[in-house]
A and B are shown apart, each in its own frame.
Chain A
Amino acid sequence: MYWFDKIKKKTGLGKKFTEAGEIWVECKSCKEQIYTSELAENLKVCPKCDYHFRIDVWTRIHQLLDTGTFVEKDKGLVATDPLKFKDSKKYKDRLKTALKKGATSDAVVTGPGSIEGRPVEVCFFDFSYMGGSMGTVVGEKITRTIERAIKNQMPLIIVSCSGGARMQEGILSLMQMAKTSAALSKLSKAKLPYISILTDPTTGGVSASFAMLGDIILAEPEALIGFAGPRVIEQTIRQKLPEGFQRSEFLLDHGLIDQVVHRSDLRTTIHQLLCLLKNDPVFPAEVNKKQKGLQV
Chain B
Amino acid sequence: MVQILEFEREIFALENQIHELVSMSHMYDSVGDITHEIGKLHKKVRHMKHDVYAKLNGWQKTQVARHPDRPHTLDYIGYIFTDFIELHGDRHGGYGPSVVGGLGKFGDQSVMIIGHQKGRETQEKIHRNFGMSQPAGYRKALRLMKLAQKFRIPIINLIDTPGAYPGIDAEEKGQSEAIATNLFQMIDIDVPIIVTVIGEGGSGGALAIGVGNRVLMFEHSVYSVISPEGCASILWGDKDKVVQAAEALQLTAPSLLKLGVIDEIIREPLGGAHRHHKRTAILLKKALRKNLHDLSRLSPDELVHQRHEKFRKLGEVGFEVGA
Partner-A contacts on B (CB < 8 A): 164, 166-168, 170-177, 179-181, 183-185, 187-188, 203-204, 207, 210-211, 223-226, 230-231, 234-237, 244-245, 248-251, 256, 259, 261, 307-308, 311-312, 314-323
Question: With an 8 A cutoff between CB atoms, is A192 at the interface?
Answer: no
Q: Given A83-B250, A178-B183, A210-B180, A256–B174 Cβ distance below 8 Å?
A: yes
Partner-B contacts on A (CB < 8 A): 1, 3, 76-80, 82-83, 85-88, 105, 135-137, 139-140, 143, 165, 167-179, 181-186, 188, 204-205, 207-213, 225-229, 232-233, 236-237, 239, 241-242, 245-246, 254-256
Q: Given A88-B236, A174-B204, A185–B185 Cβ distance below 8 Å?
A: yes
Taking a contact as CB atoms under 8 Å apart, the answer to whether A227 and B168 are in contact is no
**Which residues in A have their C-beta under 8 angstroms from that of B230?**
232
**Which residues in B have their C-beta under 8 angstroms from that of A143?**
312
**Minimum C-beta distance from A189 to chain B (A):** 8
Q: Which residue of A lies closest to B256 (CB)?
A: A171
Chain A interface helix/strand/loop/mixed: helix
Given A80-B320, A188-B184, list of 15 further CB < 8 A pairs? A78-B322, A82-B317, A87-B236, A135-B315, A169-B225, A170-B249, A176-B314, A179-B311, A182-B311, A204-B204, A210-B180, A212-B177, A227-B204, A228-B167, A246-B171
Taking a contact as CB atoms under 8 Å apart, the answer to whether B250 and A135 are in contact is no
Give the complex CA separation of A49 and B225 in angstroms: 38
Chain B interface helix/strand/loop/mixed: helix
Give the complex CA separation of A127 and B67 in angstroms: 38
Q: Which residue of B lies closest to A175 (CB)?
A: B314
**Which residues in A have their C-beta under 8 angstroms from that of B183?**
177-178, 181-182, 209
Taking a contact as CB atoms under 8 Å apart, the answer to whether B204 and A140 are in contact is no
Show 11 residue pairs from A and B whose CB-CB distance is below 8 angstroms, ordered by the A residue. Answer: A79-B318, A83-B250, A87-B236, A105-B322, A165-B226, A171-B261, A207-B180, A208-B175, A213-B181, A228-B171, A233-B166
Give the complex CA separation of A185 and B210 in angstroms: 16
**Which residues in A have their C-beta under 8 angstroms from that of B226?**
165, 167
**Which residues in B have their C-beta under 8 angstroms from that of A78?**
319-322
Taking a contact as CB atoms under 8 Å apart, the answer to whether B308 and A182 are in contact is yes
Give the complex CA separation of A33 and B314 in angstroms: 47
**Which residues in B have their C-beta under 8 angstroms from that of A227?**
164, 166, 170-171, 175-176, 179, 204
**Which residues in A have their C-beta under 8 angstroms from that of B321?**
76-78
Taking a contact as CB atoms under 8 Å apart, the answer to whether B171 and A169 are in contact is no
Q: Which residue of A lies closest to B224 (CB)?
A: A171
Q: Which of A170, A207, A209, A242 contacts B168 (CB 8 A)?
A: A242
Q: Which of B235, B251, B308, B323 contacts A171 (CB 8 A)?
A: B251
Give the complex CA separation of A4 and B36 in angstroms: 63
Taking a contact as CB atoms under 8 Å apart, the answer to whether B234 and A3 are in contact is yes
**Which residues in A have their C-beta under 8 angstroms from that of B319?**
77-80, 136-137, 140
Give the complex CA separation of A168 and B288 in angstroms: 32
Taking a contact as CB atoms under 8 Å apart, the answer to whether A245 and B234 are in contact is no
Taking a contact as CB atoms under 8 Å apart, the answer to whether A173 and B171 are in contact is no
Give the complex CA separation of A59 and B161 in angstroms: 41
Give the complex CA separation of A197 and B216 in angstroms: 36
Taking a contact as CB atoms under 8 Å apart, the answer to whether B166 and A254 are in contact is no
Give the complex CA separation of A140 and B315 in angstroms: 7
Taking a contact as CB atoms under 8 Å apart, the answer to whether B184 and A185 are in contact is yes
Q: Which residue of A lies closest to B208 (CB)?
A: A208
**Which residues in B have their C-beta under 8 angstroms from that of A182?**
183-184, 187, 211, 307-308, 311-312
Q: Which residue of B lies closest to A166 (CB)?
A: B225
Give the complex CA separation of A13 and B132 in angstroms: 37
**Which residues in A have their C-beta under 8 angstroms from that of B307?**
182
Q: Which residue of B lies closest to A86 (CB)?
A: B248
**Which residues in B have their C-beta under 8 angstroms from that of A242?**
168
Q: Which of A171, A175, A176, A245 contacts B250 (CB 8 A)?
A: A171
**Which residues in B have their C-beta under 8 angstroms from that of A176?**
314-315
**Minimum C-beta distance from B229 to chain A (A):** 11
Taking a contact as CB atoms under 8 Å apart, the answer to whether A178 and B168 are in contact is no
Q: Which residue of A lies closest to B318 (CB)?
A: A136
**Which residues in A have their C-beta under 8 angstroms from that of B174?**
212, 254-256
**Minimum C-beta distance from A36 to chain B (A):** 32
Give the complex CA separation of A172 and B187 in angstroms: 17
Taking a contact as CB atoms under 8 Å apart, the answer to whether A174 and B187 are in contact is no
**Minimum C-beta distance from B146 to chain A (A):** 14
**Which residues in B have their C-beta under 8 angstroms from that of A179?**
311-312, 314-315
Q: Which residue of B lies closest to A1 (CB)?
A: B237
**Minimum C-beta distance from A227 to chain B (A):** 4
**Minimum C-beta distance from A200 to chain B (A):** 15
